[in-house]
Amino acid sequence: MVEARIRVIYGDTDQMGGVYYANYFRYFEFARGEYFRARGGSYREVEREGLALPVVEATASYKSPARYEDVLLVRARVSEVKRVSLTFTYEIFREGGPDTLLCTGRTVHACVGRDGKPTRLPDMVVRLLHAAP
């Protein structure tokens, strides 16, 4: 698991003052990048191998709104690795207050080659996903 911190900017909020629902997916993406970096790699390395890990499924469950200036703690973990896909799960909390769960989510990623066709996850990616932070 990796914990990433991000501060809510004004542009992330909606007319009601809460974080606009789609922005939680941006926070998930931010945490995924931090996950790779914490393990000594980067998504760019995957791309250099001629591969991509597009999101093929994404879900979020909203529990309580985040607000402007909140510092969010985004926990990301790889919950499943298959032959040609992997799944990340997420939890978002407001930092500095009571441990209030704001949002949970999940993204499923396919491994595809330059031709856009599914391909086996290379060993280097599997090792990177399971490396200790």
Contact (Cβ atoms closer than 8 angstroms) between residue 113 and residue 66: no
* pLDDT (tens digit per residue) in 39-84: 988 889 889 989 999 999 999 999 999 999 999 999 999 999 999 9
Which listed residue (12, 14, 70, 99) is catalytic?
14
Half-sphere exposure of 119 (CA within 13 A, CB side): 16
Number of domains present in the structure of the chain: 1
SS3 2: strand
Task: Give, in order, the Cα–Cα distances in Å from 75 to each of 1, 7, 23, 37, 88.
Answer: 7, 14, 16, 14, 10
* pLDDT (tens digit per residue) in 106-122: 999 999 999 999 999 98
Contact (Cβ atoms closer than 8 angstroms) between residue 58 and residue 106: yes
Angle of CA points 124, 60, 133, to nearest 5°: 30
Task: Give the pTM.
Answer: 0.93
Residue 83: domain span: 2-130
Residue 114 sits in a domain of what CATH number?
3.10.129.10
| Nearest CA-CA partner of 123 in 94, 89, 83 | 83
Q: 100-117: b or e for each residue (b if 16 or more CB lie within 10 Å)?
A: eebbbbbbbbbbbeeeee
**pLDDT surpasses 80 at 99:** no
**pLDDT surpasses 90 at 28:** yes
Contact (Cβ atoms closer than 8 angstroms) between residue 45 and residue 104: no
Please compute the mean of the pLDDT values over residues 12-33 and round it to a whole number.
97
Confidence (pLDDT) at 6: 97
> Can 14 be counted among the known catalytic residues?
yes
Please compute the mean of the pLDDT values over residues 77-106 and round it to a whole number.
93
